[in-house]
Amino acid sequence: FFILVSTLDLLGIGIIGPFLGVVFGGADNLPHNIVAALNLADYSHTELVTMLAAILIFIYTIKSIFGALIMRSVITFSQNQQVHHRQKLITSYQNMPYSKMIQRNSSDYVNAIQLMVPNYANLVMFFLQAVGDSIVAIMIIGFLAWTNPQAFGFLVLISGICLVGFDRVVRNLMTNAGRDSNESAASIVRHTNESLRGFKEIRVLKQERFFNENLVEKAVVFASAQSLINFISMLPKYIFEMIIIIFIAGISITASHMVSDPVTLIPTLGVFGMASIRMIPLARSFSFTLSRIRYSKDTVMKLAADLEEAEKASQATPLLAATAAPKIDNVDTISLKGISYTYPGANRPALNDITLEIKEGDHVGIVGTSGAGKTTLVDTLLGLLPPSAGQILVNGIPITQNPEALWQHVAYLPQEIFIIDGSVRHNIALGVPVESIDDNQLDFAIKQAQMDDVISNLPDGLTTNLGENGVKLSGGQRQRIALARAFYFNRRILVLDEATSSLDVDTESQIINYLKGLKNKITVISITHRAKSLEHCDRILTIDDGHIKLK
């Protein structure tokens, strides 16, 4: 299609010269062999003009139709690339080892998916357009060189001087602007998230100005980078207009000294003029694409690094793909044997040679001071952090390399319960399509979590929207949602990571009493620093400096 449109473009430009020659001088301005072969001498001046005009209109109509079809295909392809890479990136982030995920700010991931991928998709579109434009430009340039080598040489000379100079000036500017744009965009996302997440604390402390200034500072950097790319992208238009004027003026001055009849220059000037009109948008598009490539260099490098990391992660820990995880119908025991873990870059292990066994129905409490290793122990137990040494076994079967075998039975309840901006139904049956939600299982989960009163007090019952992060719920109600979620998915192991530490005394007592009623029914592992939270536990383990002992 690119070649077809380029050929039609060339035919359209090629017929301009003969058309203008006939308009101003009749068939005498056409090559004699063509006049004789086509019997054009038999046609009147009006008939010749009408015939050539009809051919010209036909060629450009067909060219426009095919050009529009090509543009539609290019746009569709580039936007499909956006979908593909967004899916690949989110999959890579979900597959990413937890230890690597926590090393980066969440705004980096949001920026990559939300802003960098669309920029890359647009770059693909511009590049494909430039490929098509290059084919057209090469054919037009070849035709101009064949039509009048001298005039073509003059055009190449002045174009080369202007374009090489322009390229040398803007090359590094565009690369630096692209880097500044990406870094400032990620900072804007981060500052926006922080400003909204800490709304109450910021307002009470009267620190709005600090966050406002931080965001505005990065917004200015982003705006400056965008202004530069837009300004540089507009410059080629004016440069090529200047080149055309210099070319026409130069040809006219030369002709006035060397040609006796200036009318004979009309076909040549017409061809070069039409070619110039066609070449200006082509050159501008090509220059814009080249600028975008340089501007997007940082984007492409960062996306390539993330996608490469994604490929490695999916091969090392294919969490979303079919795995060779052993099928475990029921968890009788969870055993940790000689488990140690050292964070990347740390000098001392966070966990050191820990051996522990938890039986079905046990309620085990894990306490310790801040930084003692409580959360690290849970993250290792859940398989989120691969141990540096030792093994994790379920029913005596090693699952260190296949933690998803344990995930089939576990519900994780952190201090901040994960609530999506959706209904109660959607939050309990998290991730289940609406049409696939089992209402019987949902009712069972609500009863087990003792949520009947909570549901009845909500304005729309199960269809009540809970807002962002469950803002419309109390802390205790969020905990009930998490418990109901665990029962909906038939999870027989609850891992509570400071899950009740942010609750008031009465609400915490209700949750603790509820957990007492689950003894010998499900396994509960509670990580906390509050003694009250451990009243339901059979055993309490103290972790100190990476070591564990019975309390």
Domains and CATH numbers, the chain: 79-315 (1.20.1560.10), 333-550 (3.40.50.300)
- Nearest-angstrom CA–CA distance, 342 and 370: 17
Q: For 9-44, how does the pLDDT look when each residue is reduced to its tens digit (9 = 90+)? A: 666 666 666 666 666 665 565 555 555 555 666 667
Query: What is the Cα 399 distance to its own chain's centre?
Result: 33
Q: What is the pLDDT along the chain (551 residues), one digit of tens a residue?
A: 556 666 666 666 666 666 666 666 655 655 555 555 556 666 676 777 777 778 778 877 877 787 788 778 888 888 888 888 888 888 777 777 777 777 777 778 887 888 788 888 888 888 887 777 777 777 777 777 777 777 777 777 877 777 777 777 777 887 788 888 888 888 888 888 778 777 766 775 677 888 888 888 989 998 998 888 888 877 777 777 777 777 777 766 766 666 555 555 666 666 666 666 666 677 777 777 777 777 777 778 888 887 777 666 656 554 444 445 567 888 889 999 999 999 888 888 888 888 888 998 888 888 887 777 888 888 888 888 888 899 998 888 888 878 888 888 888 888 788 888 888 899 899 888 888 889 999 999 898 888 888 888 888 888 888 887 788 888 778 888 888 888 898 888 888 887 776 666 677 777 777 777 777 788 888 888 777 778 778 888 888 888 887 65
- Nearest-angstrom CA–CA distance, 304 and 317: 19
Considering only CA atoms, give the Rg of the chain: 36
Structure tokens, 140:
């037009």
**DSSP secondary structure, 328-391, as one string:** -S---EEEEEEEEE--TT-SS-SEEEEEEEEETT-EEEEE--TTSSHHHHHHHHTTSS--SEEE
Structure tokens, 83:
């979908």
- Nearest-angstrom CA–CA distance, 192 and 402: 38
The 3-class SS string of 142-193 reads HHHHHHCHHHHHHHHHHHHHHHHHHHHHHHHHHHHHHHHHHHHHHHHHHHHH
Question: Of 542, 373, 374, 534, which Cα lies nearest the Cα of 551?
Answer: 542
Contact at 8 Å (CB) between 415 and 501? yes
pTM attached to this predicted model:
0.65
The secondary structure element, H or E, covering residue 224 is helix 208-258
The DSSP symbol for 293 reads: H
Q: What is residue 93's three-state secondary structure?
A: helix
- Nearest-angstrom CA–CA distance, 377 and 466: 32
